Chains A and B, each alone.
Chain A
């Protein structure tokens, strides 16, 4: 086991619409328990607003859970370094004032891996099929697909064991989407990295995942091997998602 969550819950305080109204509590995630095994791809699928991104942010420790626990396996010695996030929108994933090279160097500096920085960056860029020349450019000079590949390279520089991919292709064109999915599959094979792949698109989840968890209103409603769950859905949420996918 690489990582497991035990009854993970996140409650947000939503401010009232006018200042005299007291804040309201909104449960984004309730009692979510899941496990990610080494080298596997776990797909998380669900409609917008069901808590997928909150789960990604909790796993990457960008936010703290209200209750529940995350347990890290022996393979994850330094969770901040070994779990990396690839976010949905490559257009705001980079600091516009830094060059791509500086952005790729930043995680190495933070995690004390500056020694072989150039080699690590070169290797990560080669793995995502980007020329080393892009390091001299600012992110604005790159296309959407190049930026998402650069974001992938930045996630790879520290040699992560788990990549949390939060809808990494939803802002991209079809042709670029295929490229990124191919790239992730290659990385999984070459580096043995595990993927937690979040998407609302069942076709993508079907293609990339070994196992899936279906989410609805902040809870996991169905879980199992991808083929089994999608061939014989038991929960109405899964059936609804499959129905929407079938109609497009």
Chain B
């Protein structure tokens, strides 16, 4: 599969009242045509920040650095290059669709506006195309739905409008940041199926951010697990979810609620560390049941494993 996006050693620092705070460190990954890469991890581990950096949507005065950032053969000189990719090759779907749609315009007008600004269509062509896109994402009859305002649609329908907006951009890369959060199980599956189907049909490379491991297992081709701003494990989704190698991935997967679960549920000891006070060495070591002597001294590098997997843990050290 053709590589569409390559990120090498991306580091993001966000401005805080008491100085800069590093929230993503040395993040490297690539996205391929027609592939869904799921980024999983607990809240506050840098997943969304990494995604926002790729389209230059971070707060003002943020600092983004990287060794290499290539999208579709174009090499980014600095973070601002990413802004030109937004809507012109890279599209975003965010969680809480209603917060990302303009409440003053009907959804049809919003899709038309995107088509006119990103694809340069005229008003008439945009009108027909907007109807086709709304119909494609299952908002039927599109002639009626296009006249609705976001507050007149349900959460699931608004989320579909965001998918239609992403379609309007005709992207090569789709960044889906927790697109199913807040939806119930049936709607979650429907939306995931829609995005997965479109990715296969259009050849989108999808970076899917979620903390819902069950859903990630259903949609992902590859998976990467983030903890405290770093990728700690990466590999084929089936490998990562069926035989996790990093103690954090193992602990996270153990927290899933089994159908036959009874009594006390397993949980991870302690809390996700604050970026301002990361522990020395591996950031997971205070919560890790398998820690070694060196874990609290130096940060482990990424060790390659069989089957193209990578794990940032001394337990998986390879010579």
Contacts and interface: CB of A to CB of B under 8 A. Distances in A.
Interface of A: 17, 47-49, 143-146, 170, 172-179, 181-182, 185, 200-204, 206-207, 240-241, 243-245, 247-248
A185 B186 contact: no
B264 A182 contact: yes
Given A49-B154, A143-B44, A144-B43, A201 B185 contact: yes
Contacts of A172: 43
18 contacts: A17-B149, A170-B182, A174-B255, A174-B256, A175-B42, A175-B251, A175-B268, A178-B255, A178-B265, A178-B266, A178-B267, A182-B265, A202-B185, A241-B185, A241-B186, A244-B185, A244-B189, A247-B189
Say whether chain B's binding surface is mostly helix, strand, loop, or mixed.
loop
A204 B264 contact: no
B252 interface: yes
Contacts of B256: 174
Report which residue of A49, A181, A207 has the largest number of chain B beta carbons within 10 angstroms of its beta carbon. A207
B218 interface: yes
Contacts of A144: 43
Nearest to B269: A175
B185 A182 contact: no
Contacts of B149: 17
A244 B186 contact: yes
Report which residue of B183, B255, B258 has the largest number of chain A beta carbons within 10 angstroms of its beta carbon. B255
B184 interface: yes
B247 interface: no
A207 B184 contact: no
B288 interface: no
Given A48-B154, A204-B257, A175 B252 contact: yes
B185 A200 contact: yes
A207 B261 contact: yes
B48 to A, nearest CB: 13
Contacts of A177: 255, 257
B188 interface: yes
A185 to B, nearest CB: 7
A146 B259 contact: no
A207 B155 CA distance: 27
A240 B186 contact: yes
A204 B271 CA distance: 22
Contact of A185 (B182, B215, B264): B264
B156 interface: yes
B280 interface: no
Interface pairs A-B: 5 shortest CB-CB = A178-B267, A200-B184, A244-B186, A178-B265, A175-B268
A138 to B, nearest CB: 14
B270 to A, nearest CB: 9
Report which residue of A175, A200, A204 has the largest number of chain B beta carbons within 10 angstroms of its beta carbon. A175
B214 interface: yes
Contacts of B155: 48
A6 B266 CA distance: 39
Contacts of A48: 154-156, 182-184, 187
A185 B261 CA distance: 13
Nearest to A181: B265
A25 to B, nearest CB: 16
A176 B266 CA distance: 10
A143 B154 contact: no
Contact of A175 (B44, B184, B186, B267): B267
A215 to B, nearest CB: 12
Given A144-B43, A178-B266, A247-B218, A207 B188 contact: no
Contact of A179 (B43, B182, B186, B267): B267
Given A173-B211, A178-B267, 18 more contacts: A48-B154, A48-B183, A143-B43, A143-B271, A146-B271, A174-B211, A175-B251, A175-B267, A176-B267, A178-B257, A182-B267, A185-B264, A203-B257, A207-B257, A207-B262, A241-B185, A241-B186, A244-B188
A240 B156 CA distance: 17
Given A175-B251, A207-B257, A47 B265 contact: no
B213 interface: yes
B267 A47 contact: no
Given A17-B152, A174-B213, A47 B264 contact: no
A223 to B, nearest CB: 19
A118 B149 CA distance: 50
Contact of B255 (A175, A185, A202): A175
A144 B265 CA distance: 19
Interface string B202-227: 00000000010111001000000000
Contacts of B211: 173-174
Contacts of B271: 143, 145-146
Contacts of B252: 174-175
